[in-house]
Copies of this chain bind each other. A is one copy, B any other.
Amino acid sequence: MPPTKKSTLVLVAERAGVSIASVSRVMNGLPASQQVIERVRQAADELGYVPDATARSLKAGKTDQIALAVADVGNPVYAGMMHEISRVVTKAGYRLVLSSTGIDPHVQIDLLSSLNRGFADGLILSPLRFTEELCVQLRASRLPIVIIGSLPAGIELDNVRADSGRGIALAVDHLVEQGRQRIAFINGPVDTAPGAARLNGYLRALTEQGRPLNADAQVNASDFTYRAGLKAANALLDQTTPDAIVCANDLLAVAAMKVIFKRGLRVPDDIAIVGMDDTDIADLAQPAITSVDLRSTKRARMAAKLLLRRLENPQAPVEQVVIEPKLVVRASSVSGCAEAEL
């Protein structure tokens, strides 16, 4: 199948009757006489020569690769982020190396140590949990790292995060405005960074609105997935009867809605629903789901740019960006306008 064996500078040089240095220069557009240029071009064409990326990397001390590590490639939020990051770094001439770390922090630690082997020039990391060991490795890394998500104290890295607590507050305030009284909350696991922030935002928002905190009104799904959401929603509706549910992401929201329908209740008439992330799913659902836009593609773009900036200038001051969430109101939370909204 391979038509010819791999050809190198040496082979091209022999065929062109010049030194390898000249070949290298011609290939890189450095000054050379017209005659040498032509002979090298021809020899290279005839041999189908392409310079070897590995050798070049070794010499140059850079790989032109950027590593991206996210918890779950299957999650549409992360998929969208990947897409955006891929776009930005590709335009800057980098390749993207993908790691799906899952929820286990150990995989991330392995990743960090192999990053130090220099297979990439930098890393964009979006960790769900921070263990002590992970923090140690983060501090010890010799290569630039940008974190998507909030950082524990004592780690000075470029990062960009959404204020998801504030996002939940937007949702709660909106529901209060709509006259909802019993606002429940379906969260993901609270031992993750996003889970903790969202819980925090929910409690704070209710308090600020002068609402009682009712333990029954809050359940935690075992994961940020649709299937976990079905179980959580059933548990919630077994133990209480809310007139609104805030969900920690859109998958949980659509699961909640499914459970509500199955129990013969209506959305938004009986129960209003608000999701989070503003993915396509919120828009596709029937009725369309009000959702807090955490600007995931914007965050992804910023993260990529922060990393590119640091690769250019390793001495740049650490930058920490917080992106404001935005509520996108759709039919699932506004009584009486379900049809108008469509």
A residues contacting B by CB (< 8 A) are 1-4, 6, 48, 50-55, 57-58, 63, 65, 72-74, 76, 79-80, 82-83, 86-87, 90, 95-100, 113-114, 116-119, 139-142, 156, 226, 254-255, 257-258, 261-262, 280-281, 283-286, 342
Contacts and interface: CB of A to CB of B under 8 A. Distances in A.
A97 B100 contact: no
Contact of A86 (B86, B98, B286): B98
A199 to B, nearest CB: 25
Contacts of A117: 50-53
Copies of this protein chain in the complex: 2
Contact of A284 (B6, B97, B98, B226): B226
Given A261-B286, A284-B281, A342-B262, A113 B80 contact: no
Nearest to A52: B118
Contacts of A286: 257-258, 261, 285-286
Contact of A226 (B6, B113, B280): B280
Residue among A87, A113, A119 with the highest chain B CB neighbour number at 10 A? A119
Nearest 3 CB-CB pairings of A with B: A53-B117, A79-B79, A53-B119
* Most B CB within 10 A of own CB, among A48, A53, A76, A261: A53
B63 A74 contact: no
B80 A74 contact: yes
Given A76-B76, A261-B342, A54 B118 contact: yes
B119 A54 contact: yes
Contacts of A140: 3, 48
Given A2-B142, A3-B140, A76-B76, 15 more contacts: A48-B140, A50-B116, A53-B118, A72-B83, A73-B82, A82-B98, A83-B100, A90-B99, A97-B97, A97-B98, A226-B280, A254-B284, A255-B284, A257-B286, A258-B286
